[in-house]
Amino acid sequence: MKNFKLFLKVKIFNFKDKIFTIFNFYKNFKYFLLDSVFSFIYLFINPYREVRIFNQKKGLSDIYTYGETPIKTIYKIAKESNIDKKSNFLELGSGRGNVSFFIRLIFKCKVTAIEWVDKLINISKFLNKIFYLRIIFLKKDMFEISFNNFTHIYLYGTCLNEKEILKFTDKFKKESKKAKIITISYDLNFYDKDYKTTKSFDVDFAYGKTKAYINILKEHRNGE
Ligand SMILES: C[S@@+](CC[C@H](N)C(=O)[O-])C[C@H]1O[C@@H](n2cnc3c(N)ncnc32)[C@H](O)[C@@H]1O
């Protein structure tokens, strides 16, 4: 009964997010087309299952690591972090790619997305090609790419452990001194005192409310 209630809550949440998306963004015809094809394809593929199987094969201890950022939430994050045409956005662990597709088509900036689950990244690449979106989708381990030149880095990695977060903060320090790093549920200052939070605000996910944080390196001043 408890599981059914949770299932229903998530379905209703996703339905509301879809209505929000339709009313606010389907006037962008390309986004409407892309989102329709995207939703159709994913009637037949379950991303939670794909990620679980991938993680199992990799022998990871935590296999249930999939989750998605709702469109209403990524829209709020993009507005709060001042993403615009001149931004260079990086999504670490892009899953189905819905965040990257949205940022590219609505905010029209440069987008790079990293994901290591074959089926998910292959579908993202396919949609990217047929809709000529020019997003850079890379099938890679996100710990092994260079973070140079990005203005915004989105890390929805609630399943990362402390060691992994510290690996990121070290890498960000060397390769993306000026980037705004957007994290969900935790700020980077908690793990590494060289970072400060310039903004934090409530965001909604299917599982409930949490906070988004905009983190920057302390030496860096960006006028916020
Ligand atoms: C919580 S989901 C977030 C999906 C998407 N960013 C969103 O917000 O809707 C995390 C994604 O990161 C991917 N991922 C986890 N570790 C990764 C790694 N080391 N390299 C590349 N992708 C990774 C997972 O496969 C999963 O699709």
Position 223 scores a pLDDT of 46
Cα distance between residue 92 and residue 153, in whole Å: 7
Q: Is 78 exposed, middle or buried (0-12, 13-18, 19+ CB in 10 A)?
A: buried
- 11: containing domain: 2-217
- Residue 144 placed within a domain: yes
Q: Which residue has the CA at smallest separation from atom 8 of ligand 1? A: 69
Position 220 scores a pLDDT of 55
Distance, CA 94 to ligand 1 centroid (Å)?
5
pTM, 2 dp = 0.95
By most ligand atoms within 8 Å of CB, the mutation choice from 71, 112, 138, 142 for ligand 1 is: 142
Instruction: Find all residues with CB under 8 Å of 218, minimum gap 6, and list them.
Output: 194, 195, 196
- Residue 174 placed within a domain: yes
Residues 55/159, Cβ–Cβ less than 8 Å: no
- Residue 109 placed within a domain: yes
Regarding the beta carbon of 115 and ligand 1, being less than 6 Å apart is answered yes
- Residue 223 placed within a domain: no
Give the number of the atom of ligand 1 that is nearest the alpha carbon of residue 184.
Answer: 8
Instruction: Find all residues with CB under 8 Å of 183, minimum gap 6, and list them.
Output: 155, 156, 157, 212, 213, 215
- Residue 224 placed within a domain: no
Regarding the beta carbon of 47 and ligand 1, being less than 6 Å apart is answered no
* Residue-by-residue pLDDT tens, the chain, 224 positions: 778 888 899 999 999 999 999 999 999 999 999 999 999 999 999 999 999 999 999 999 889 989 999 999 999 999 999 999 999 999 999 999 999 999 999 999 999 999 999 999 999 999 999 999 999 999 999 999 988 889 999 999 878 899 999 999 999 999 988 999 999 999 999 999 999 999 999 999 998 999 999 999 997 545 44
Cα distance between residue 208 and residue 188, in whole Å: 21
- Residue 38 placed within a domain: yes
Beta bridge pairs of residue 184: 212
Regarding the beta carbon of 67 and ligand 1, being less than 6 Å apart is answered yes
CATH of the domain at 135: 3.40.50.150
Regarding the beta carbon of 68 and ligand 1, being less than 6 Å apart is answered yes
Q: How many domains would you assign to the chain?
A: 1
Regarding the beta carbon of 181 and ligand 1, being less than 6 Å apart is answered no
- Residue 222 placed within a domain: no
Regarding the beta carbon of 207 and ligand 1, being less than 6 Å apart is answered no
By most ligand atoms within 8 Å of CB, the mutation choice from 64, 156, 165 for ligand 1 is: 156
Regarding the beta carbon of 100 and ligand 1, being less than 6 Å apart is answered no
